[in-house]
A and B are shown apart, each in its own frame.
Chain A
Amino acid sequence: MAISVEHLRRQYGSFTAVDDMSFEVGGGEIVGLIGPNGAGKTTTLRSLAGILRPTAGHVRIDGYDIVEHAIEAKRRLAFMPDEPHLFEYLTVLEHLRLTARLYAVHDIDHRAKVLLDELELSGKEHALPGELSRGMRQKVVIACGLVREATALLFDEPLTGLDPIGIRKMRETIVARGRAGAAILLSSHLLHLVEEICTRIIIMDGGRIVADGTFAELAAHLEIAAAGSSLEQIFMRVTGRETSAR
C-alpha cells in the first residue's frame, strides 16, 4: 500500500487530536478526508507528512515508516498544505529548482515549464512570493508538490484561494495523478468536489474515523441511498449534525 496508517494517535499536551486511526490508500485511489472543524484532518495529514511526530502508531509510505525511515518515506511523498508557506526570497523558478534538488528530479527546466504553463504561472517565474496573490502562492506550493513523481500525494484544502479556472485545472490535475497511479489523500470542506473526484471517503469526527468507504457503500450503510442523496446528507448523519442542521 502506498499509504498505510496503523493506530495513529497524536496528542497536544493532554488533548488528543487524533486517536487510534487506521486506514490505507492504494495506488490510483483518491481518498477524500472530510470532517467538521477540529476533527483532526490537518493533524492527520501533518502526521503523515512527517511534520508532526505521531504520539503512537505507525505511518508508512510505500512501506517506509515515516519515523524510522524518514528520508526514504519523505522521498516518496508530496504534501500540499492549506497555507502557502514559501521562502520570501526565492522566486517561483528557484522554488522549483530547490524542490528538484531536494528530490533529485531530472530535467527540471522542462518539467518546470510544463507545470508552470499547466498551473497558469507562466510569466511569474522570476517573481517572489510577496509579489504573488494568495491563489498564485497556493499554485506554487502545488507546483512544488507535482514537479516530482511522488507515489503518495497529500492535499490539505488544495482549492483554497484558487480562481474558478484554477479550481477546474486543479481538479483535473488531481484526477490525472490518481489515474497515473499515485495514492492521493485529499482533505476538503468542499463536499461536492470530494463526491466528484474521490474514489473513497473517510469521515472523521473528534479525532476518530467514523465512516470509511465509497460513496455508494456509505449511502447503503446509512440507508439513505434514496434518489437525491448526497455526501452532505451522509456527512450530516454520520457526524450527528443532521438534527441541528434542520
Chain B
Amino acid sequence: MITASLYIVICTARNRLRLRLRRLREPRYLFGAIAAGAYFYFTVFARIRGGRMARARRQNATPLMAGATAAALQGSGPGLAAIAMFVLAGLAWVFPAGSGLLDFTPAETDLLMPAPITRRQLLLHRMIRSQIGLFFASVMPAILVPSASALSRVRLAMAIWLVLVTAKIYFTGVTLTRTRLASALGGDRWAAWTPVAVLLGAIGIVASSMWRTFDGNTLDGPADLLKHLGRVATTGTAGIVLFPFVALVRPIFAPWPGPFLAALLPAAAVLASIIVWVLRSDEGFEEATAASAARRAAAGSRSVTAAPVARRVAWTLAPRGRAEGIFLWKNAIQMLRETTGGMLARYLVPLVLVSVSAGTALMAGNRARGTAMTLCSLAVGLAAFAVMLGPQVLRIDLRDDLRHLELMKTWPLDPSAVIRGEMLWSGIVLTGVAWLAIVCAMILSAAGFPRLSLVWRLSGSMAAMVIAPALVFAQLTVHNAAAVLFPAWVPLGHSRPRGLDAMGQRLILFGAVVLTLVFMMTPGVLAGAVLWIAFQRFMGAAVVIPAAIACLGIVAIEVIAASEALGPAFEMMDIAAVERAE
C-alpha cells in the first residue's frame, strides 16, 4: 500500500506541476507567475540577502532577541514550548481539531475504501499524502525567519516538520479515540479511556508542580515567570511527564550540528510512538471518516461556509418590477441565509482588528484619551473598513454568481440591468454600515477630534456620508467589470485558484482595481476641488458637503455608464472562460 500511496502522491504532484507549467503558455498565467515571482523576490529573498549583507557589514551578528525577557525566553524555550504543546494536547480532547487526515477525497472514498486494504493502510496512505502540505508549511517559516545560513534554515524546517506531523497525527488519534469512548465493547472502551486517564494524570502532576513552584513565591517580572515555567517543564516529576513534549520541540532550539542531531532521535521516537498509537486506534476509523464526510457534506461545496438554513424571511419577491430588483432580492436572501454565528465571528474578528488598527492610527495624532475617543476611533476605523475594504470582502455580486452564469444567460433580461442589480445589495449593505459608523463617529467626534471645530466635524461627517456610496459603488463597479471582462482572473465564488501564477494574478488584479478606482474617482474629486476653491471663502467648512455631492453625482453617472457599457460584454461572455478552481 505504501508504494501505491507514493505512486498517487508522486503522480498527483507531477501532474499538478505539469498542469501549472503548461498553463504558463497562457499569458494571464505567465504574467501572474512573473508578478508573483517578483513579489516573492522583493519581499522575501531580496530582504534575506539585504539582511545578510547588513550583518556582514556590521561584522558581528546581532542577537535575534535582546533583553532579559528575550534571554529568559531563549533559555526556557523548550520548556515553554513543551507546556504550550501540552496545553494543546489536552484541549484537543475537549475541542477536537480536524487534522484532515480522515478527510478522504471522493476519489479516495470510491476507489480506495472498497479496495482490499486494511484501515491501517488507509491511515498510512493519508499520512503519506499529507506530507507535501506539511513540507511547505515547514519550509515557509524557515525561509521567512531571519537566519545566518541555509543550513540553519534546513535545520529549522526539519524541526518544524517534526512538530507539525506529530501534531497532525496526534489530533487524528484523538478523533479516532473519541469515537470509541462510548463503545459498547468493554475492551474497546477501556482502551479508549486509557490515554484520557494518562493525560488527566499528567495534567494533575504538572498542575501540582506549578502550584508548588509559584505558591508563595514573588515573581520579578516576566523574565522570572518564564524562567520558572521553563524549569517546571524540565525538572522533577513534571519534567518526566512533559519529557515527550520537550523532546519533540527541542530540535527547534538545538544548535547545529551535534546537539541538533542528538535532539532528533528522541523527537523521532515521540513521532513513532504517536504513529503506533494512531494505527492501533483504527477501530473507530469508519465512524470517524463517516463523521468527517458528513461534516464536509454539510458544508457542501462551499468549504468556508456552513450548510445554508432555510430561514423564513419576510420578503417575498414582487411579481413585477425592474430587473435590478430581482438581484437585490436574491442577494439579500442569500446573505440572510448564509450568515451564521460562526461566519459572523469569522468576519467580525478581522473587522474589529482592522477597525481598531485603522482608527487608532488615525487618531494617534490627536493624543486624546478615554472611552469616547476609543469608540470614536473604532467607528472611524469601521467606516474606513466598510468603504475601502468592504467591496473586496463582500462578494455577493457577479463575482459569486459567475457560478450560475449558465443559468443566468438563459434569462430574458437586459444584461446592463443584471450588472447593476448584482451590485445593489452589497452596495446598500456597505453604505449602511459606513453610514452607521460615521453617525457614531460624528456623535463622538468632540472626543475623537478635539482640535476640529463643531462646524468642521459636522460638515466632514456629512461629506463622508455622501462620499461613502460613491466609493463603495465605484469599487463594486470595478470588481464586477473585472468579472465580466476577465472572468478567468476572478476567483469563482468562495473558491481560490492555487499556485504561484494564480497568486500573481490576484496581485495584478488588485493593482488594476486600485488604478481603475483612482481613474473613476478623479473626475469627481476634481469637480469637488473646483467647488472647494470657488466657494470655500463664502461657505467655510460646509463647502465639503456640496463638493462631496458633486463627486457623488459624477461617480453615479460613471457607474451607470459603466454598467451600460458592460452589458454587451456580459452578453458576449463565454461560459468556457469561467474557470473552476483546481
Q: Show the binding face of A for B, using Cβ within 8 Å.
A: 12, 46, 49-53, 70-75, 77, 79, 81, 85, 87-91, 94, 97-98, 100-104, 106, 108, 126-128, 130-131
- With the chains together, A155 CA to B310 CA distance in Å? 29
Residues from chain B with a CB closer than 8 A to the CB of A88 are 300, 302, 308, 334
Verify if B367 is at the interface (C-beta below 8 Å from A). no
Please name 5 pairs of A and B residues whose Cβ atoms are closer than 8 Å in the assembled complex, sorted by A.
A49-B410, A70-B571, A85-B406, A89-B333, A104-B320
Of all A-B residue pairs in the complex, the 4 with the closest CB atoms, nearest first, are A74-B412, A75-B412, A89-B334, A89-B337
Verify if B316 is at the interface (C-beta below 8 Å from A). yes
Q: Is the CB of B330 within 8 A of A53?
A: no
- With the chains together, A84 CA to B530 CA distance in Å? 55
Residues from chain A with a CB closer than 8 A to the CB of B108 are none
Residues from chain B with a CB closer than 8 A to the CB of A100 are 319
Residues from chain A with a CB closer than 8 A to the CB of B319 are 97, 100-101, 106, 108
Tell me the chain B residues, 300-318 only, with Cβ under 8 Å from chain A.
Answer: 300, 302, 307-310, 312, 316-318
Q: Is the CB of B410 within 8 A of A126?
A: no
Verify if B409 is at the interface (C-beta below 8 Å from A). yes
Residues from chain B with a CB closer than 8 A to the CB of A104 are 320
Residues from chain A with a CB closer than 8 A to the CB of B388 are none
Residues from chain A with a CB closer than 8 A to the CB of B574 are 52-53
Please give me the residue from chain B that is nearest to A12 by CB atom: B576
- With the chains together, A221 CA to B412 CA distance in Å? 41
Q: Is the CB of B317 within 8 A of A74?
A: no
Q: Is the CB of A87 within 8 A of B330?
A: yes
Q: Show the binding face of B for A, using Cβ within 8 Å.
A: 300, 302, 307-310, 312, 316-321, 326, 330, 333-334, 337-338, 403-404, 406-407, 409-414, 571-572, 574-576
Q: Is the CB of B330 within 8 A of A72?
A: no
Q: Is the CB of A131 within 8 A of B310?
A: yes
Residues from chain A with a CB closer than 8 A to the CB of B330 are 87, 90, 98
How close is B550's CB to chain A, nearest CB, in angstroms? 36
- With the chains together, A90 CA to B327 CA distance in Å? 12
Majority DSSP secondary structure for residues of B touching A: loop
Residues from chain B with a CB closer than 8 A to the CB of A77 are 410
- With the chains together, A53 CA to B320 CA distance in Å? 29
Please give me the residue from chain B that is nearest to A104 by CB atom: B320
How close is A133's CB to chain B, nearest CB, in angstroms? 13
Residues from chain B with a CB closer than 8 A to the CB of A49 are 409-410
Residues from chain B with a CB closer than 8 A to the CB of A85 are 403-404, 406-407
How close is A67's CB to chain B, nearest CB, in angstroms? 8
Q: Is the CB of B412 within 8 A of A102?
A: yes
Q: Is the CB of B316 within 8 A of A97?
A: yes
How close is B230's CB to chain A, nearest CB, in angstroms? 51
Please give me the residue from chain B that is nearest to A145 by CB atom: B410
- With the chains together, A168 CA to B574 CA distance in Å? 36
- With the chains together, A177 CA to B316 CA distance in Å? 30
- With the chains together, A203 CA to B433 CA distance in Å? 58
* Set A94, A98, A101: member contacting B321, Cβ < 8 A: A101
- With the chains together, A103 CA to B316 CA distance in Å? 17
Residues from chain A with a CB closer than 8 A to the CB of B300 are 88, 130
Residues from chain A with a CB closer than 8 A to the CB of B321 are 101
- With the chains together, A3 CA to B326 CA distance in Å? 28
Given the contacts A94-B333, A130-B308, A101 and B320 also touching, CB distance less than 8 Å:
yes
Q: Is the CB of B334 within 8 A of A87?
A: yes
* Set B309, B412, B571: member contacting A103, Cβ < 8 A: B412
Given the contacts A74-B410, A87-B404, A102-B412, A51 and B320 also touching, CB distance less than 8 Å:
no
Given contacts A72-B412, A73-B412, 4 further A-B contacts (CB under 8 A): A51-B575, A74-B412, A102-B413, A108-B319
Q: Is the CB of A128 within 8 A of B310?
A: yes
Please give me the residue from chain A that is nearest to B396 by CB atom: A89
- With the chains together, A66 CA to B576 CA distance in Å? 18
* Set A73, A75, A102: member contacting B326, Cβ < 8 A: A102
Q: Is the CB of B310 within 8 A of A126?
A: yes
Given the contacts A85-B406, A89-B333, A102-B413, A46 and B575 also touching, CB distance less than 8 Å:
yes
Residues from chain B with a CB closer than 8 A to the CB of A46 are 406, 575
